[in-house]
Chains A and B, each alone.
Chain A
Amino acid sequence: MMRSRTHFILIAGSLVWLAAIVLAPLLQLEPVYRFFSLICHQNPLRSWALAGIPLPVCIRCVSIYTGFFVALVFSMRPRTAVLKFAILASLAEVLLQSTLIDWVVLRSFTGFALGAAVAPFVRIGVDEMIETHMRRSRQGALRDAM
């Protein structure tokens, strides 16, 4: 399958994102922890640890980002039904975790599925946005200059 330039940028971006998460505890990168504190509770009890230090995001977040990256690498196709199922499964898991079962494997699996289901739509969305909106605004700027 032919991959667009946007696809490669997304793969590289998500790889950097994951690398920052993994390297943060190993290299004690404080800014990375501060950056991810804006979108994650960073509870050490709900995070995986590397060399005894918790990662800057929780288990669910790591699973989502990993699923996102894997789906991009394998050029998975967008499926609306899968996306809806993954969203519902994640919501159900959140409800279950606070009432009945708080199971790490389930949290990781639903997170991974959510990330993998979203990624193909993001790839197409970003591609279309660059093709239509960015190009249109560039053409408009060129027209104004002439």
Chain B
Amino acid sequence: MQCNQCGADLPEEARFCLQCGSPVQRPDSEDLTTKPPDAPPPELDFIRPALAGGTALAALSSIPVVNVGNCLCCMWVLGGGGLAAYMLSQQQPGRRLTYGDGAFVGVLSGLFGAIVYTILSIPIKIITAPLLRSQQEQLEQMLRNMPELEEWMRDLLMRTLSAEVSIATVLFTFISNLIMYALFAMIGGIVLVAILQKRGARPVSQTPLR
């Protein structure tokens, strides 16, 4: 370090010049004075990761054939929540996320996902209905070959598998998805935070648990 006045070499910890006696100005002195050492970390932005996670889960859940992944423990929805939590963790790599952070970003991504899914699924269903007809016929055949299945159950499964689009089905699917996606994406967010933890470490909760 050098004196700003006379250019003399000074030890790092010097506050005054040993040659001319003028006060030493450190380049980062302003930061040190204005920023308290225990200042809270900057707020996390939950919206952007939630939008990304929600869009990803909605896209994967609405594409025919790909959406079969949701039959495996709601894989895409859990993954969307997990993606949102991962993106959140990348905002401040040194910061340890709490399970509450993972849950919150997961819920948001699930809610966004339900909205995006509803918007995407209507045109996709209309476009792919003729393509999926043969597949549907095969499933219907399979159900007919199960005599032990009751009639109402067979009708129900047929209706569930059908590609019909009506206001009632869209509304029912939307409300159901709001609940399902929010819950499962929340679990995805929490699980990802748990997995990202280092051995022996535990995220510090901002408030004590009762």
Task: Tell me the A residues contacting B by CB distance below 8 Å.
Answer: 2, 4, 28, 30-31, 33-35, 37-42, 44, 52-54, 60-61, 64, 78, 80, 83-84, 87, 90, 94, 114, 118, 121-122, 124-133, 135
Contact = CB atoms under 8 A, between A and B. Distances in A.
A39 B74 contact: yes
Interface residues of B, number: 45
B205 interface: yes
Contacts of A30: 152, 156
B69 to A, nearest CB: 11
4 nearest A-B pairs in the assembled complex, by CB-CB distance: A128-B100, A125-B99, A125-B103, A125-B190
A35 B189 CA distance: 23
A23 to B, nearest CB: 15
Nearest to A58: B71
Contact of B210 (A2, A80, A94): A2
A131 B104 CA distance: 11
B98 A128 contact: yes
| Interface residues of B, dominant DSSP | helix
B197 interface: yes
A125 B186 contact: yes
Contacts of B186: 122, 125-126, 129
B194 A121 contact: yes
A80 B160 contact: no
A129 to B, nearest CB: 4
B190 A39 contact: no
A28 B150 CA distance: 11
A95 B21 CA distance: 76
Q: Is the interface of A mostly helix, strand, loop or mixed?
A: helix
Given A128-B103, A128-B205, 13 more contacts: A4-B210, A44-B153, A44-B157, A83-B191, A83-B195, A122-B187, A122-B190, A125-B102, A128-B101, A128-B209, A129-B100, A131-B100, A132-B206
Contacts of B107: 129
A121 B191 contact: yes
Interface string B166-210: 000000110011001000101101110111010100000111011
B98 A60 contact: no
A77 B80 CA distance: 26
A127 B153 CA distance: 39
A129 B71 CA distance: 28
Contacts of A90: 73
